[in-house]
Amino acid sequence: MIKVENLYKSFLGRTVLHGISFDVAKGEVLGFLGPNGAGKSTTMRIITGFLEPDSGSVSICDHDMAQDSVLAKERMGYLAESAASYQDMQVKAFLSFTADIRGLTGSHKKQAIERVIDLCHLAPVLNESIENLSKGFRQRVGLAQALVHDPDVLILDEPTDGLDPNQKFEIRNLISSLGQSKAIIFSTHILEEVESVCTRAIVVSEGLIVANGTPSDLKSKTPSGRLDDFFRAITKSDAQSSALTGAHS
C-alpha cells in the first residue's frame, strides 16, 4: 500500500537521503527510527507530498505521489509532529471542517465525526478551543483529523508526544488495532513503542537504511537482547556526526 523507491534528496549541496527504498503492506505497522539528522523527517515529508525528492518515487495505494498527488493523499491520513490545527477553533468545529475538506457530507460526515470522537476520547473537550487544550488533547485532536475519512494509509509522526502514560497506552492500543486493516508508518524516538506497537522497524542513519526487520529480529542481533543497544550500535549521534565532519573538513 506504501511503496518508496530509491529516494535521493539534497539541501544546499548536502545529500540527506541516499537511495531510500521500502514497502509497507496492509496489516503492517512500520516503526521508522533514526537519530536527529538521519533523514527521517525528510523521508516522511516526501512520503506525504510536502517535499519533492531529487529522484525516486512514492506511491500510495498504487497512486504516484508526483503524478496523482490528489488521489494519493485521499487514501492517506497524516499526523504531523506538531499536530498542526486552527488554534482558535473549537474541537468539534475543527473536526467538522476537516471532514468537509475530505469530502464527507450528510450522515456519512456525522458518523465519521462521532467515530473519531469516540476513538480518540474527545467527548470531554468538544466545545473547548484547541488553543486551551493540554498538549495531550491537542495530539488526540490531530490523530482524529487524520482518521476522520477512514484512510487506508496512516503516517504518524511522534503520535504519543506529550501524552501521559495512560494516554500513551490508549493510543498504542488504537494504533495496533488500526494496523490490522491499514498500512501505518509510525515515527517515534521511544523504542518501547516500537516493541509494543510495531510489526516491523526500519532504522535510518545518515540518509541510509541500516536495519529492517521485526523488533524481535533486531533485538536478537545484540548480546543484551535490547533494542536500545542495537540502535546505538548501528547509528551515530549528532555529536559523533559533527566530530567526523569536522575531522574531514
Segments forming the whole domain that contains residue 37: 2-248
List Cβ<8 Å contacts ≥24 apart for 50-56.
51/9, 53/7, 53/8, 53/9, 53/17, 54/8, 54/9, 54/10, 55/6, 55/7, 55/8, 56/4, 56/5, 56/6, 56/7, 56/8, 56/19, 56/20, 56/21
Output 243 or 203, whichever has higher pLDDT: 203
Interval 39-62 mean pLDDT:
94
What average pLDDT does range 30-56 have in this prediction?
Answer: 93
Question: How many domains does the chain contain in total?
Answer: 1
CA distance 60 to 183: 10
- As a whole number, mean pLDDT of residues 100-111 equals 96
pLDDT in the model for residue 248:
36
Whether the pLDDT of residue 104 is over 80: the answer is: yes
The pLDDT value recorded for residue 90 is 95
Nearest CA-CA partner of 150 in 210, 86, 77:
77
**Average pLDDT over all residues of the chain:** 89
Which residues partner with 24 through β-bridges?
2
What is the model's pLDDT at position 67?
94
How many CB atoms neighbour CB 16 within 10 A?
A: 18
The set of cell numbers assigned to 38 is 538521519
247 pLDDT band, cuts 50/70/90, is very low
pLDDT for 113 beyond 80: yes
Say which residues have a Cβ less than 8 Å from residue 125's Cβ, sequence separation at least 6: 91, 133, 137
Look up the CATH number of the domain holding residue 97: 3.40.50.300
Residue 237's pLDDT is 55
Q: Determine which of 81-85, 176-180, 197-201 has the lowest per-residue pLDDT on average.
A: 81-85
What integer pLDDT is reported at residue 220 of this predicted model?
A: 93
In the structure grid, which three cell numbers stand for residue 214, read together? 521485526
Stretch 67-91: mean pLDDT: 88
Q: Between 240 and 7, where is the model more confident? A: 7
pLDDT class for 28, splitting at 50, 70, 90? Answer: very high
Strand, helix or coil for residue 58: strand
pLDDT bracket for residue 84 (50, 70, 90): low
What is residue 87's predicted lDDT score, i.e. its pLDDT?
84
State yes or no: pLDDT of 186 exceeds 50: yes
- Nearest CA-CA partner of 209 in 52, 14, 22: 22
Instruction: Walk across the sheet containing 55-60 and list its strands.
Output: 14-24, 2-11, 55-60, 63-64
> pLDDT band at 249, cuts 50/70/90?
very low
